[in-house]
Amino acid sequence: MSENNTLLSIRNLRKVYQTRDGELEALGSVSFDVNEREFVSIVGPSGCGKTTLLRIIAGLLPKSDGEIIVNQSNFDPTREVGFVFQKALLLHWRRVLDNVLLPIEILKLDRKKYIDRAYELLKLVGLDGFEKRYPNELSGGMQQRVSIARALIHDPKLILMDEPFGALDAITREKMNLELLRIWSEAQKTILFITHEINEAVFLSDRVIVLSARPSKMVGSYDIDLERPRTLQQKATAEFGEYTVNIYQKLEVV
């Protein structure tokens, strides 16, 4: 992709926590770009700061140093970013439709103008007809579909996803991966996705970024040149296996 398609630029991003034992450097100096409508996954050792990185981009944590630039200008993450957490984090006393509309209320936008969009998004994520259900009436996978619709409701430029399928069983996870690719293709959004699963990263992504152990730095970036739309059969190909082995070996040396 050409440089003028860059949506997100991370420049020398650092995060240092002040602890009782002194400073703890979580992010050493992380720099990378994400292009418009690109699907980028981040993998790295446990505790390397992947979630910290996403939370800083989303404005949920302050950075210690560095720059975050969207469309070549400083941005308001509350408007430009949608976040899908490890757990769906739905409000159990609110119906599905009201959970999807929650960001609209937080941003003090006109709820009435977004109701039709909420219905459209629930249809997009395969939950047409579940608008009046409560979260406890849905499976784990269905709850994460609601959280994806919620992340899309205010039309953000960037969707951040922090291991959204980590708590699901293997079969449901495979189905959700396929569903996520369909939603991403139809919604035409940019996704930055964190996972511990190298296979998942390769299957979903246009590019996989590898972070080192804490204090993390980017130590690898792999363009995934697999045909789209992706199919589960591709996981059995030599090309897919080569990508996963290369990324695994990079993680082994960091």
**Residue 157 host element (H or E):** none
Instruction: DSSP for 27-67, please give it.
Output: EEEEEEEEETT-EEEEE--TTSSHHHHHHHHTTSS--SEEE
pLDDT value for 72: 57
Q: Which amino acid is at 211?
A: L
Run of H or E including 111: none
Q: What pLDDT does 1 receive?
A: 40
The confidence score (pLDDT) of residue 20 equals: 87
CA atoms within 13 A on the CB side of 20: 0
Please count the residues of the chain. 254
| Domains of the chain (ranges, CATH numbers) | 3-71+158-253 (3.40.50.300), 86-156 (no CATH)
Answer yes or no: are the C-beta atoms of 16 and 59 closer than 8 Å. Answer: no
Give the per-residue pLDDT at 111: 94
Rounded to whole angstroms, the Cα distance separating 49 from 200 reads: 19
Amino acid at 139: S
- pLDDT (0 to 100) of residue 47: 86
Q: What is the pLDDT along the chain (254 residues), one digit of tens a residue?
A: 444 589 999 999 999 998 888 888 989 999 999 999 999 999 999 888 999 999 999 989 999 999 988 775 656 777 889 999 999 999 999 999 999 999 999 999 999 999 999 999 999 999 999 999 999 999 999 999 999 999 999 999 899 999 999 888 999 999 999 999 999 999 999 999 999 999 999 999 999 999 999 888 999 999 999 999 999 999 999 999 999 999 999 987 65
- Measured N-to-C along each axis, helices 170-187 and 140-152 cross at an angle, to the nearest 10 degrees, of 20
126, amino acid identity = G
Residue type at 147?
Answer: S
3-state secondary structure of 134: coil
Quote the pLDDT of residue 252: 79
What pLDDT is stored for residue 74 in this prediction?
58
Supply the pLDDT for residue 254: 57
Structure tokens at 132: 């009046």
